[in-house]
Structure 1
């Protein structure tokens, strides 16, 4: 097996914000040449695949400034320092949608954009949903949307759902329905 590791020669943090930190690393490539790597450091996040008793996926519609548009997403949020991902999933589900779950099961974790970020996203499946009051963060404006599997698949095809974690969750839901789980 060939070694593809890049050795860090120097690292400089050039920005630290509320959500991310940006660093630039000088690295030595496996062939000895030098290169620079721009890295977004992120504390990680969770997302929740929640299906109501009526067979509808719980989504939120919200404006995303980097895209300059409003999109549909599954409930999600950033991990706080030292926070358990399952606890974060329960908190985000309730804050953004008002739903509480009697159980949350970890489904999958993945790196969202490993070419430039270390963000790891954890998807949880919510069970035993009960409706409550929406309580978003003070700078968060969301609208609850519930869609059937067919509606979600149509929204992916139309481009109404383009968020990677949501697309993955819809196809995961479809696979579970197809396999009878």
Structure 2
């Protein structure tokens, strides 16, 4: 059963998000305006070093008023590939510069001071427990970390 879309209008827009009202009709004929949040494309970087540790940031999210571990992530800017955005976000948020062949080339001080409280290399063997304890709650971080864990499991 497919819903029909009859139109859409933006209610609010900024650099990160668009809030729209979409005129929809359900298969039973009911029709109304449905709120839809459209986000910009996001790049998430799962950087793993040769010690099987993943680079993560401990940060506060004011929306949920909670602290949790996250992977570096940010918006893909116009004219930028997701790979370029991921590398840029890793450097801006952690001070680490990921390399094209090795996981890391060198480190430097972070240029973005508002991103996290601390930055650490977390052993992949500890990630599952962190997820279970809800120490990782960001959907972007969860997707990247679960992919890493799955990749390790099938090797």
Q: Establish whether TM, by shorter chain, passes 0.5.
A: yes
1:41 matched to 2:16? The reply is: no
TM-aligned CA distance change 1:144 to 1:178, over 3 Å: same
Distance of 2:48 and 2:68 partners within structure 1: 19
TM-score in terms of structure 1 length: 0.75
Match of 1:119 in 2: none
Unaligned runs of 5+ in 2: none
What do residues 114-166 of structure 1 show as CA deviations (whole Å, max 9, x unaligned)? xxxxxxxxxxxxx4312322434464344212111221111112111122222
Q: Indicate if the aligned counterparts of 1:13 and 1:24 stay in contact, CA closer than 8 A.
A: yes
Q: Which moved more, 1:25-34 or 1:38-47?
A: 25-34
Question: Are the structure 2 counterparts of residues 139 and 37 from structure 1 closer, same or farther at C-alpha, using a change threshold of 3 Å?
Answer: same
**1:73 to 1:177, Cα distance in 2 relative to 1, 3 A:** same
TM-score under structure 2 length normalisation: 0.86
Of residues 122, 130, 135 in structure 2, which corresponds to 1:160?
A: 135
Q: Distance in 2 between matches of 1:52 and 1:159?
A: 24
Structure 1 runs (4+) deviating above 4 angstroms are: none
For the pair 1:146 / 2:110, whether they are aligned, the reply is no
DSSP 3-state at the match of 1:50: coil
Separation in structure 1 between the aligned mates of residue 19 and residue 113 of structure 2, nearest angstrom: 25
1:6 is aligned to 4
Q: Say yes or no: does 1:170 pair with 2:145.
A: yes
Instruction: Quote the RMSD (CA, aligned, Å).
Output: 2.1
Secondary structure of 1:103's aligned partner: coil
Alignment equivalent of 1:79, drawn from 76, 79, 85: 76
Q: How far apart, CA to CA, are the structure 1 residues paired with 2:62 and 2:45? A: 22
Question: What is the aligned partner in structure 2 of residue 27 from structure 1?
Answer: 24
Structure 2 SS opposite 1:86? helix
